[in-house]
Structure 1
């Protein structure tokens, strides 16, 4: 821990050599001239960043426009778009009843896929499968697998595709019922009304998930996404029952047989189970708060074990809002873990002030982006503020060559000596930067220094959105594998 981060920060913002604070100072005059020359050369290449690869347009296309999240979204969307074109071309050549039922079935299949990819067990399985690749595998393969956390692109792509297929279904219903002069029976009128309301609800859901709106009005987005999603599923159930009744009467078949043979029925059963299942695991758990400072609190739980780099969702109002936090396994207990809450808004400030003794927990713990770090031989972990929590979850129980770069305000005053000690236990040479003076370091440069020092294969960033995007882009644009949460929908 001899390396100090001085440069442009001043002496108040140097690395916290907390474990050597009482150590004897090094007599620089006793160093040999050769050592001094080596140190000078080390400082020279450490203090400069190489140029970014390619032109600005190339970098925007590769790292922004065609991110893995958008690639997955586009893959699902284009597949559905091709299917929709084929569907519409063949529409006039096939039986009306079979065609309109097919549109309904494909819509239900897409909504099922969107719900399935958000299930915590499915997400954990995806991470575990990708984490099985050996460290001896080619770096390009591990790089692609490491971006498994972009699975939200599958969710969004399937959800938007489901809305498009429902719009096609609705258009066919309108065309065949109104324009072709079919009888305006109560059943047909009910199908028109219900499908129109359901389509409006389905359109609002992806519109409310537009990134800028989602970030600015996150609590409203969360409520809209949850309650409108439930409303859409209920309306879909009602629509299915009414449409099956109409089909049963037209074909002269028993209602139960038509319902049983409907693919949409079975997809809706699975969708409903996926929605209900996490709520069957809703529990109010005991919490043991440990106040770290006026800006942070550590909440300890003892009800269940957690795996490597898993997080949980906690709430004080289960129907209104949920907050995800990475867990830190407690080495003293098989079923103990903790999480760090730092002041970042009204809810977190309230928890620090009230020191809760019970919180709602829903569903199973879910793996996060750091879970995939184990497929790399050497890594650099970058954190700001309470982002150090997930990093400790990775490094405390798992031995992996790494360096930690942690930038936060007054680490000891904010998070306590125990957290700082845990950081140094995980990495004795950790770089901890005190940003209490408001002067932020060049995180890209500091990260690059550590990458060069240990020849790291990858960088993992757990920070606020702007810092995460900056460091990840700064590394990837220079040919270094880097990963960080993407805050997708």
Structure 2
């Protein structure tokens, strides 16, 4: 421990040599830019803006809408992680470090959602212009449905802006859910209306089959909605250990739980133990919902969908990894400690770990990794986790750092490591 605190972190290289490590050039933003630039290219090179048709605009809306929805499908997310982590350890580090950015797939979702909204706005504009030039050429029903739909799409986009989503997260979640469902119904309404006005069977419409696919994708997690029994252990007023027995998930996955399935969902990292059925969650006091959960322990909670891969799954792309965790961030790290698929050096910074999380949990961590550095902030104050992370990388020769902490600290550790050429990963708070 003392050796790590004496680590001298070298200064960052010149900006021109590390510009790709800046947050604005994250893989999330790059993927979003690729989608938006691809759509812009269609406008500039493929689409003749003077003769553009409603059918062309509708096709672009559906393409982007499909990408936005399907990339968030749980089965597809797990498939993306599986595919990315097939990269062999023998491949160059630069390839593996890029593959490990798979969890930035949300950039495709955001870019496609914005593009779909833009194309739909253009389609509404074209139809309104036609209506003004030739009254009666566009039905009033179409204009009303499309106007309401455009309003919903714009509301979803605005609420998803990072500074709004972060400040009003519950509002963002509910708008995303209910406005999203409303938008899907309105897309169905427009499709049925178009089929009726054209007197063509629905089965002959490509839009119909795309909407069938998207509806099934959105509905699939809710088709697995169920209320399950849980057992609780509350080692302190700050945290509770919740045990589930209805399934045994894979290490590195997460489960969303709710006490009111229509209003609010919260995801937590699953902690399965090798050779044991079921799994645990660590739920710590981090807001109103978790506070109420800890104070009024429920006997059942709602779950839906399937367990989904998380950022720490990328550990298998590296020969060894340093984990930085703070507080209940130990939850996403524990299954990887227990599975021991990769050599790990753990640095866990938390206040009074035994008092907060219980002797049993701390002892379990130390059995899995006797060399873990557990930093008690009540005794030693807050550490410089950038210094500790860099020192641990140099000491054990790790290839990457994975940080599970609050947003500000995660972003700082990831940026500071990346700026010095060390692959680093952490949650990106895009949902």
TM superposition score normalised by structure 1: 0.85
Q: Name the residue aligned to 2:320.
A: 378
Q: Name the residue aligned to 1:341.
A: 283
Q: Is the aligned partner of 1:66 residue 2:25?
A: yes
Question: CA offsets, 1:301-323, max 9 Å, x none?
Answer: 01111112011000001111100
Using the alignment, how far apart are the partners of 2:48 and 2:354 within structure 1? 67
Q: Is the aligned partner of 1:183 residue 2:136?
A: yes
Q: Kindly report which structure 2 residues correspond to 1:48-87, keeping only aligned pairs within 5 A, or say none.
A: 48-55=8-15, 59=18, 62-86=21-45
Using the alignment, how far apart are the partners of 1:479 and 1:86 within structure 2? 38
Q: Kindly report which structure 2 residues correspond to 1:124-273, keeping only aligned pairs within 5 A, or say none.
A: 124-179=78-133, 181-183=134-136, 188-248=139-199, 255-256=200-201, 259-273=202-216
Using the alignment, how far apart are the partners of 1:69 and 1:426 within structure 2? 33
Alpha-carbon distance, 1:424 to partner: 1.4
Q: Is the aligned partner of 1:427 residue 2:369?
A: yes
Question: CA offsets, 1:441-478, max 9 Å, x none?
Answer: 11100111111110110000011101101111111111
Alpha-carbon distance, 1:87 to partner: 5.3
> Are the aligned partners of 1:410 and 1:434 in contact in 2 as well (CA < 8 Å)?
yes
Alpha-carbon distance, 1:275 to partner: 1.1
Look up the SS of the partner of 2:235 in the other structure. strand
Return closer, same or farther for 1:260/1:132 CA change in 2, 3 Å cut-off. same
Alpha-carbon distance, 1:437 to partner: 5.5
Alpha-carbon distance, 1:4 to partner: 4.2
> Are the aligned partners of 1:105 and 1:263 in contact in 2 as well (CA < 8 Å)?
no
Gaps of 5+ in 1: 8-45, 249-254
Look up the SS of the partner of 2:294 in the other structure. helix
Gaps of 5+ in 2: none
> Are the aligned partners of 1:387 and 1:463 in contact in 2 as well (CA < 8 Å)?
yes
Q: Is the aligned partner of 1:476 residue 2:411?
A: no
Alpha-carbon distance, 1:261 to partner: 2.7
Q: Is the aligned partner of 1:106 residue 2:87?
A: no
Using the alignment, how far apart are the partners of 1:306 and 1:260 within structure 2? 39
Alpha-carbon distance, 1:440 to partner: 1.2
Alpha-carbon distance, 1:110 to partner: 1.2
> Are the aligned partners of 2:316 and 2:342 in contact in 1 as well (CA < 8 Å)?
yes
TM superposition score normalised by structure 2: 0.96
Using the alignment, how far apart are the partners of 2:94 and 2:63 within structure 1? 33
Alpha-carbon distance, 1:333 to partner: 2.3
Q: Name the residue aligned to 1:318.
A: 261
Q: Name the residue aligned to 2:231.
A: 288
Q: Name the residue aligned to 1:26.
A: none
Greater mean deviation of Cα atoms: 359-368 or 260-269:
260-269
Using the alignment, how far apart are the partners of 1:262 and 1:78 within structure 2? 28
Alpha-carbon distance, 1:68 to partner: 0.2
Return closer, same or farther for 1:320/1:356 CA change in 2, 3 Å cut-off. same
> Are the aligned partners of 2:21 and 2:419 in contact in 1 as well (CA < 8 Å)?
no
Alpha-carbon distance, 1:102 to partner: 2.3
> Are the aligned partners of 1:381 and 1:404 in contact in 2 as well (CA < 8 Å)?
yes
Q: Name the residue aligned to 2:359.
A: 417
Using the alignment, how far apart are the partners of 2:273 and 2:365 within structure 1? 14
Alpha-carbon distance, 1:399 to partner: 3.2
Alpha-carbon distance, 1:84 to partner: 2.7
> Are the aligned partners of 2:324 and 2:389 in contact in 1 as well (CA < 8 Å)?
yes
> Are the aligned partners of 2:4 and 2:391 in contact in 1 as well (CA < 8 Å)?
no
Q: Name the residue aligned to 1:47.
A: 7
Using the alignment, how far apart are the partners of 1:322 and 1:268 within structure 2? 25
Count of matched residue positions in the alignment of Structure 1 and Structure 2? 431
Using the alignment, how far apart are the partners of 1:459 and 1:61 within structure 2? 17
Q: Name the residue aligned to 2:218.
A: 275
CA RMSD, Structure 1 to Structure 2 (Å): 1.7
Using the alignment, how far apart are the partners of 2:236 and 2:396 within structure 1? 34
Alpha-carbon distance, 1:103 to partner: 1.2
Question: CA offsets, 1:148-207, max 9 Å, x none?
Answer: 00000011111111101111211121122222x1436xx611111111111111111111
Q: Name the residue aligned to 1:37.
A: none
Alpha-carbon distance, 1:331 to partner: 3.6
